[in-house]
Amino acid sequence: MSRRAELLVDPKTGVKEQSYVGFSWPNLFFGVFWFLYKRIWGWAVISFLASVVTSGIAWFIFPFFANGLHRSHLKRAGWLPEVQAQAFTINPDSHVLCPDCKELVRKEARVCKHCKATLVPQA
Ligand SMILES: [Zn+2]
């Protein structure tokens, strides 16, 4: 059975997707279509061809590492674990305006990354 791994976040869109480790039942049932659904085009093609070549045997092998493929696919595309992604997401809880240049900087920053002004970190 699969269990939950990291919750991954696309820092560009804020979209979240749960990643899993272990055997993928959805992949066993949906095979190639699971890869298509997850938008992993390369592995969709590979798993389709592998299933044809092996008369369907590959269909039962991919579920063992489909979740790993999915996770590394997202990470290559720039997705980050949720904890890490928060550092890149600008929101009122994490960022303040630099008093000198009015750019957004992280609350904990001691130096403005834009104008190098010294800041008082706000907890
Ligand atoms: Zn500044």
CA dihedral 73, 3, 35, 13 (to 10 degrees): -50
Q: Are residues 13 and 50 in the same domain?
A: yes
Do 107 and 123 have their domain in common? yes
Cα–ligand 1 centroid distance for 114 (angstroms): 5
State in Å: Cα 55 to ligand 1 middle.
Answer: 62
The verdict on 119 and 65 lying in the same domain is no
Backbone angles phi, psi at 49, to 5 degrees: -65, -40
| C-alpha of residue 69 to centroid of ligand 1, in Å | 41
Residue 63 CA, ligand 1 centroid: distance in Å: 50
81 and 28 belong to one structural domain: yes
Tell me the pLDDT tens digit for each residue of 76-107: 999 988 877 766 667 777 788 899 999 888 88
Residues 30 and 10 both lie in one domain: yes
**Sequence-distant (≥ 6) Cβ neighbours of residue 70 within 8 angstroms:** 19, 20, 24, 38, 40
Residue 18's beta-bridge partner residues?
7
User: Do residues 28 and 76 share a domain?
Assistant: yes
pLDDT in tens, 8-46: 988 888 889 999 999 999 999 999 999 999 999 999 999
Stated pTM of the model = 0.69
